[in-house]
Amino acid sequence: MPVVIMDASIYKHVPGGELVNANIIIKDNKIHRITDNQNEVKSFIEENPETEVLSSKDKIVLPGFVNAHTHSPMSVFRNYASDRSLHDWLFNMIIPKEQLLTEEDAYWTSLASQAEMIRSGTCAFADMYFHFESLVRAVRHSGMRANLTVMPLSNKWNEGKRKTVSNAQEAISLFKKYNDNEMITLYTELHSVYLYDIDMIHVNVEVAKELNTGIHIHLHETEKEVDDCLREHNKRPIELLREIGVFTRPVLAAHCVVMNDDDIDILKEDKINVCENISSNLKLVSGIPRIPEMIDKGVNVVLGTDGCASNNNLNMFEEMHISAIVHKNQMKDPTVMPAHKLIEMATKNGYEAIGFKDRAGDVAEGMLADLIMVDISSLHCTPINEVAACIVYSMQASDVDTVIINGRIVMRNKEFVTIDEELVKHKVRTVAKRLGL
Amino acid sequence: MPVVIMDASIYKHVPGGELVNANIIIKDNKIHRITDNQNEVKSFIEENPETEVLSSKDKIVLPGFVNAHTHSPMSVFRNYASDRSLHDWLFNMIIPKEQLLTEEDAYWTSLASQAEMIRSGTCAFADMYFHFESLVRAVRHSGMRANLTVMPLSNKWNEGKRKTVSNAQEAISLFKKYNDNEMITLYTELHSVYLYDIDMIHVNVEVAKELNTGIHIHLHETEKEVDDCLREHNKRPIELLREIGVFTRPVLAAHCVVMNDDDIDILKEDKINVCENISSNLKLVSGIPRIPEMIDKGVNVVLGTDGCASNNNLNMFEEMHISAIVHKNQMKDPTVMPAHKLIEMATKNGYEAIGFKDRAGDVAEGMLADLIMVDISSLHCTPINEVAACIVYSMQASDVDTVIINGRIVMRNKEFVTIDEELVKHKVRTVAKRLGL
C-alpha cells in the first residue's frame, strides 16, 4: 500500500550533509513524489485512502544502508572462538562446525542476521554462503533486497579436505529460477583464488557471461593469499584473475587489503567495486586497506560487515565510524574520509556495487523506496550540529525507528512487520546448542 | 533504600568472561551480600521492607564503566566543525566558542554528558574542565561518581592570548570544600606541558602534595607536543615532568600516544595510570598508542572517550571495541587485547586510576555498588556464545537497562531517576543556538 511521510527531514548527499524538509509519497515500490505542497499530499491520500501516513517528528529520513559483503547464516557463530588467529579460528573452530549446519538451520540463522540488519537500518545486502535456497526463502520472508551468489563450483568435503567440483548447470538453473533483478539479484560466487583452481575460475567466468551477471569474490584479503598465489602462479591474485577474464564482468571484491599501486590501478581500470570490511580486517589482523587512495583514483568503494562471526555484529553505523577514523589516522590527515563520504559509501555506492546503479541510495523521486527513519532526538545526537558528522560519529543503530524496503514497511517504530523476532532468536539459540558452541 | 537483584547473572573478570548466578543484596552504598540462599534474601527483604527488588530476566550484571578522561561540558560542541585538522578545529573553531560558555551553560552541558554516560552504562568519570563549581552541581544532580580537577593555575585569556596564572589558594579551598573521597574525588589539573610553564608545574605539584591527592594531565598526545618540548627544554615532556616531581603523586595521564621505550619504562616505574582515548586519537590523527606493550610491562591502562567534541559521543562500548581491534591489527596478533581484558580496563582498572583501587569495579561483596544491568536478549547478542566477546564486540550502549551508582538506582528500565532528559536536551540546544554552532 502507498506510504506518505509527512514533514520529513530528508538527508541529502552534499558535503557536511543537509536536511531538506518536504513530504515523501511512496507508491508501489518507488519514491513517487517529494513535495512541499500540502494540497498535493492531501489529494494523493484522498485518492489512495489505503495510504499509511507516517509522522517524522524527531526523525530524519535517510536512504537505507547496503551491507555489501556478509555471510548471513554465520550469526550463530557470533562470539564463538574470538581472539584467536585467523587460521586457528577458521579451520579448527568455524569450518568443522559449519559442516553441521542444515538447510533449515541456514534459513533461521540467515533470517536472524536479516532481522539484525533491518533493526540497524540496512535495506539491502550482498551475501556469500552455501545453502542457497534457504537464503532465498529467508530473503523472501524478511522482505530485504539481496544480492546472493549462485555457485558454479561447489566445495565438497572429502575426508576432511575441500574439493572443488563443477556445478555450472545447477547454478544456471538456480539463476533462471530466482533472479528477478529487483528483490533478488544473483552474482556468481568465486570465493577466492586459494579455494578455487584455474579451471574452475574459467568455468565461473563463462557462467557469469552466459547469465550476463557479475561476480562476488574475496580479493587480496591477506598477505598469505597474495604470497601463496605468487608462489604458485608467479602472479598476484588480481593479475591472475584479470588474465583469466574475471574483470570483464561486473565484480564485487571484498577486502582488497594487500594492494600495491599497480593493483589499485587495476581496480580503477577494470571498474572493480571494492567492499571494505574494516572491523573484520582489524579483528583478524589482515591489515588496513588503502581506501582513501582508491577513492582518490575513482574506485567505487562500499562498506560491509563481513560475517558477524568475525565482527561480531552487522552494524553499518560502526563500519562507517571505524572506517572514517582509522583512515584519517592512516593518512595522517583529519580531512580525508569526511562524514558525508562515508554515508555515500554505505548507501548509494553500495547499491551501485550490487547492481542498482542510480536506482536506489538517494531519497529522490523515481528511486526504489529503500528508506530508513532515524530518531535524531537522543542524548548522543544532541545537539545535532553538522548532520553528516552526527550520523557517522554519534548515531547508534538503536536510533533506527522505521525501515521501508521496496516501498514496504518492514519495521515500524522498532517493531518488525515481517519477522517474528522471538521465534528467530529461539531458533538460533537452538542451533547454537545443537552445534555445541 | 536497599536493592535486591534476584537471580542475577553476574559477570566475573576471568579469561573469556564468566556468568555466575546468585542474588545480589545492596545496602547503603555497598554490595552487602552475594548469595544463592533464597531464604537469606527473603529474610533480608522482610527485615528491610523498603527494599526495591529488581528482576534480572534477560539481563546480566556488570560493574559500571569508568570513563577516565573526558571534558563533560563539551557535549554542546559535538559534531561542530568535524573533519578538520586538530589546530584548525581547536584554535579556530572550539576555543573561541568555549569562551562564550557561562557557568550556567556548563552546568547543563555537563549534565547532558552525564545523562549520556549513565544511559550507556558509565557509573564514574574523570573530568577536566573549567567552571568547576558547575561541574560539582551537575555531578550532585546526576548522582554519578566523579573525579574532577581543581586548577592551581588558571588560563586567563587576554587579548585573545592564553596566560597562566597561579590560583593555588583557591584550588586548596575548593578541594577542602568539595572533596569527599567518595562521590567526588579531586585531583589537580595540570593540563599539559604546552599550556603551563615550569613554575606553574611546580606550583601544581606542591598543591597536590599539600592536599595528598593526584594529578590529571594530558601527556604525549601528539608528536608536536613532544617535539616542541624537546626544542624548548631539551627533554621529552615525560622526562621534564619526572624531574619536577609530578610523578611523586598519583597521576592519571590521558593519551600517551607518542611513546618510546624509555617513556614506557617511566610509565611503569612511576606507576602512572594511562588513559587511552582511541576514538579521539584516530579522529584527530594523533596516532595509535602502544597499549599492548604498556600492559605487558604492567602499566595500569584504562579507557576514556575524551570530550565528545572529538569522538563524537561518550560510549564506552565503542571505546572497548575499537581499542581491541585496532591493537590486534597494530600488533599483527589477534590474541592480544582479548575481550575480558578490555572489560577490566573499562571497569576495575578505571576505578583504580581515579582513586578507588579495590573499592569498585568488580561485582563482589564489600565493593561500592556501582553496577549496571544490561539486556542480553537482543538480536545482536544472540547467541551469546563467549560472554566477554559478546560484551566487547557485539553489545551496544542501547542494551544498558538499569544503572546503580553508590547503591542508588539512577536509571531504571531505561528511565532516568535523577535527570529530566527532555529538559537537559532543551537546555543544550538552547546553548548551541546562542553560541551560533
Cβ separation of B79 and A377 shorter than 8 Å? no
pLDDT above 70: percentage of residues in chain B: 97
Of B280, B307, B287, give the one whose Cα is nearest residue B224: B287
Under the banding of pLDDT at 50, 70 and 90, the label for residue A207 is: very high
Beta partners for residue A275, in sequence order? A254, A302
| Candidates A79, A337, A379; nearest CB to B119 | A379
**Residue burial A195-204, b: 16+ Cβ < 10 Å; e: rest:** ebeeebbebb
Query: Is residue A423 scored above 70 in pLDDT?
Result: yes
Asked if B335 and A83 come within 8 Å (Cβ–Cβ), the reply is yes
Any residues with CB less than 8 A from the CB of A106 and at least 6 apart, and which?
A73, A129, A130, A131, A134, A135, A138
DSSP A391: I
Q: How far is B323 from chain A (nearest CA, A)?
A: 10
Please count the other Cβ atoms lying within 10 Å of the Cβ belonging to residue B17. Answer: 23
Is the pLDDT at A234 greater than 60? The verdict is: yes
Over residues A73-126, the pLDDT tens digits come to 999 999 998 888 777 888 889 989 998 999 999 999 999 999 999 999 999 999
Query: Chain B: nearest CA to A339, how far in angstroms?
Result: 7
Question: Left if phi > 0, otherwise alpha if psi is -120 to 50, otherwise beta: which for A240?
Answer: alpha
Q: What is the radius of gyration, based on Cα positions, of chain B?
A: 21
Domain that holds residue A225: 65-353
Would you state the cell numbers that stand for residue A436, as one nine-digit string?
Answer: 555445541
Interface touch A334/B86, C-beta < 8 Å:
yes
- d(CA A264, CA A242) in angstroms, rounded, equals 13
pLDDT of residue A151: 86
CATH code, B47: 2.30.40.10
Out of A288, A334, A377, name the one closest to residue B85 (CB): A334
pLDDT in tens, B74-109: 999 999 988 887 778 888 899 899 989 999 999 999
Q: List, for residues A289-331, the tens digit of each pLDDT value.
A: 999 999 999 999 999 999 999 999 999 999 999 999 999 999 9
Give the nearest partner residue to A389 out of B79, B335, B377, using CB atoms.
Answer: B79
Contact state of B334 with A284 under an 8 Å Cβ cutoff: yes
A163-185: per-residue pLDDT in tens?
A: 666 788 989 999 999 999 999 99
Q: Categorise residue A414: left if φ over 0, alpha if ψ from -120 to 50, beta otherwise.
A: left
pLDDT of A247 strictly over 70: yes
Chain B contact for A412 (CB, 8 A cutoff): no
B58 and A CB contact within 8 Å: no
Q: CA quadruple B131, B137, B138, B143: dihedral positive or negative? A: positive
Question: Does residue A358 fall inside a structural domain?
Answer: no
**Residue A140 in domain:** yes
SS3 sequence of B24-42: EEEECCEEEEEECCHHHHH
Q: What is the DSSP letter of A368?
A: B
DSSP for residue B272 = P
Residue A155: give its domain's CATH number: 3.20.20.140
Supply the pLDDT for residue B151.
Answer: 86
With a pLDDT cut of 90, the percent of chain A lying above it is 90
Task: Check A389 against B324: CB less than 8 A apart.
Answer: no
The answer to whether position A411 is within a domain reads yes
| Per-residue confidence (pLDDT) for residue A232, from 0 to 100 | 95
Residue A150 and residue A195 in one domain: yes
Q: Does position A15 have pLDDT exceeding 80, yes or no?
A: yes
Mutate to test the interface with B, among A70, A82, A435 (most CBs of B within 10 A): A82
The total number of structural domains that make up chain A: 2
Residue B362 lies in a domain: no
Asked if the structure places residue B322 within a domain, the reply is yes
Question: Which is nearest to A250 in space by CA: A193, A205, A297, A196?
Answer: A205
Positive or negative: CA dihedral B306, B311, B315, B317: negative
In angstroms, rounded to a whole number, what is the distance separating the alpha carbons of residues B398 and A354?
31
3-state secondary structure of B148: strand
Q: How many CB atoms lie within 10 A of CB A88?
A: 13
- Report the phi/psi class of residue A343: left, alpha or beta, with left for phi > 0 and alpha for psi in -120 to 50: alpha
Q: Is residue B114 domain-shared with residue B216, that is, in the same domain? A: yes
C-alpha torsion angle, residues A90, A329, A117, B313 (rounded to 10): 130
In a domain, A426, yes or no: no
Preferred mutation among B75, B284, B382 to probe A, highest tally of A CBs within 10 A:
B382
Instruction: Tell whether the model's pLDDT for residue A156 goes beyond 80.
Output: no
Residues in chain A within 8 Å Cβ distance of B85: 333-335
* pLDDT at site B87: 76
With beta carbons under 8 A apart, name residues in chain A contacting B396.
313, 315, 396-398
One domain for residues B156 and B216? yes
Flag if B338 and A83 touch (Cβ within 8 Å). Answer: yes
Backbone angles phi, psi at A401, to 5 degrees: -110, -45
Q: How far is A83 from chain B (nearest CA, A)?
A: 5
* A390 and A341 part of one domain: no
Residues A124 and A239 in one domain: yes
Chain A residue numbers touching B401 (CB-CB < 8 A): none
Radius of gyration of chain A (CA): 21
Over residues B292-314, the pLDDT tens digits come to 999 999 999 999 999 999 999 99
Which residues 6+ apart lie within 8 Å of B217 measured at CB? B189, B190, B191, B192, B241, B246, B251, B252, B253, B254
Query: Considering only CA atoms, which of A135, A124, A22 is closest in space to residue A72?
Result: A135
Q: Do A19 and A124 share a structural domain?
A: no
CA–CA gap between residue B239 and residue B430 (Å, rounded):
45
Residue B397 contacts A, CB cutoff 8 Å? yes
- Judged by a CB distance cut-off of 8 A, whether residue B77 touches chain A is yes
Q: Which residues of B touch A331 (CB under 8 A)?
A: 285
B117 and B229 assigned to the same domain: yes
What is the DSSP secondary-structure string of B45-88?
HHH-TT-EEEE-TTEEEEEPEEEEEE-GGGGGGTTSS-SS-HHI
Contacts of B430 (CB under 8 A, 6+ apart): none
B108 touches chain A (CB under 8 A): no
Dihedral angle, C-alpha A270, A244, A215, A282, nearest 10 °: -80
Distance CA B140, CA A263 (A): 58
d(CA A36, CA A38): 6
As separate numbers, helices (DSSP H) first and strands (DSSP E) second, chain B gives 17, 19
Residues A159 and A25 in one domain: no
Give the separation between CA A208 and CA B124, rounded to whole angstroms: 57
Q: Is the dihedral of CA B418, B423, B427, B429 positive or negative?
A: positive
Q: Residue A336 has which C-alpha cell? A: 580525508
User: Whose CA is closest to B144, among B419, B386, B436, B381?
Assistant: B419
pLDDT at residue number B129: 93
**CB hemisphere CA count around A174 (13 angstroms):** 26
Interface check A111 vs B, CB under 8 A:
no
Q: Is residue B431 part of a domain?
A: no
Does the pLDDT of residue A153 top 80, yes or no? Answer: no
User: Nearest by CB to B383, which of A284, A329, A429?
Assistant: A429
Among chain B residues, CA nearest to A313: B394
Judged against a pLDDT cut of 70, whether residue A159 lies above it is answered with no
Is the Cβ of B379 closer than 8 Å to some Cβ of chain A? yes
One domain for residues A303 and A397: no
What pLDDT score was predicted for residue B164?
62
- Specify burial of residue B161 (Cβ count, 10 A radius: 0-12, 13-18, 19+): exposed
Contact in structure between A335 and B83 (CB atoms under 8 Å) = yes
Looking at residue B163, its pLDDT comes to 60
B230: exposed, middle or buried (C-beta count within 10 Å: 0-12, 13-18, 19+)? middle
Q: CB under 8 Å to A305, separation ≥6 — which residues?
A: A67, A69, A70, A277, A279, A280, A311, A313, A314, A315, A316, A319
Minimal CA–CA distance to B200: which of B239, B235, B246, B158?
B246
CB contact under 8 A, B321 and A318: yes
Cβ contact B311–A393 (<8 Å): yes
Q: What is the pLDDT of residue A104?
A: 97
Average pLDDT across chain B, whole number = 95
- Cβ–Cβ < 8 Å for B347, B33: no
Q: What is the mean pLDDT of residues A407-421?
A: 98
pLDDT in tens, B347-405: 999 999 999 999 999 999 999 999 999 999 999 999 999 999 999 999 999 999 999 99
The predicted structure's pLDDT at residue B158: 53
Specify the pLDDT at position B166.
72
* Packing angle, helices A316-331 and A339-346, rounded to 10: 130
Mean pLDDT of A344-354: 98
Residue A221 with chain B: CB contacts under 8 Å = none
Q: Which residue of A has its CA nearest to B87?
A: A334
Which chain B residues are closer than 8 Å to A89 by Cβ? 334
Q: Do B75 and A393 touch (CB under 8 A)?
A: no
Please name which of B135, B93, B78 lies closest in space to residue B431, comparing C-alpha atoms: B78
Interface of A with B in 295-354 (CB under 8 A): 308, 311-315, 318, 321-322, 324-326, 328-329, 331-335, 337-339
Flag whether pLDDT at A70 surpasses 60.
Answer: yes
Are both A263 and A311 inside the same structural domain?
yes
B300 and B259 within one domain: yes
Residues of A in contact with B82 (CB under 8 A): 338-339, 386, 389, 393
How far is it, in rounded angstroms, from Cα A15 to Cα B25? 53
Interface test with B, best of A382, A384, A387, A398 (most B CBs within 10 A): A382
Which DSSP state fits A293? H
| pLDDT value for A161 | 57
pLDDT at A263 over 90: yes
Nearest-Cα distance to chain A for B402, in Å, is 17
Q: What is the mean pLDDT of chain A?
A: 95
Strand-pair partners of B52 = B3
Of A149, A367, A144, the C-alpha closest to A251 is A149
Residue A160 is predicted with a pLDDT of 55
pLDDT bin (cut points 50, 70, 90) of residue B167 is confident
pLDDT in tens, B114-125: 999 999 999 999
**Cα(B51)–Cα(B209) distance, rounded to whole angstroms?**
42
Q: CA-nearest residue of chain A to B430? A: A383
Per-residue burial over A230-257, b if 16 or more Cβ lie within 10 Å, else e, is eeeeeebbbbbbbebebbebbbbbbbbb
Using alpha carbons, select from A329, A83, A277 the residue that is nearest to residue B289: A329
Alpha helices in A157-275 (DSSP H): 168-178, 198-210, 223-233, 237-244, 261-269
- Tell me: the pLDDT tens digits for B404-427? 999 999 999 999 999 999 999 999
Residue A289 lies in a domain: yes
Q: Is B83 on the interface with A (CB under 8 A)?
A: yes
In tens, the pLDDT along B4-34 reads: 999 999 999 999 999 999 999 999 999 999 9
pLDDT of residue B288: 98
pLDDT of residue A82: 82
| Chain A: residue whose CA lies nearest to B336 | A83
A91 shares a domain with A16: no
Cell readout for A390 is 552526527
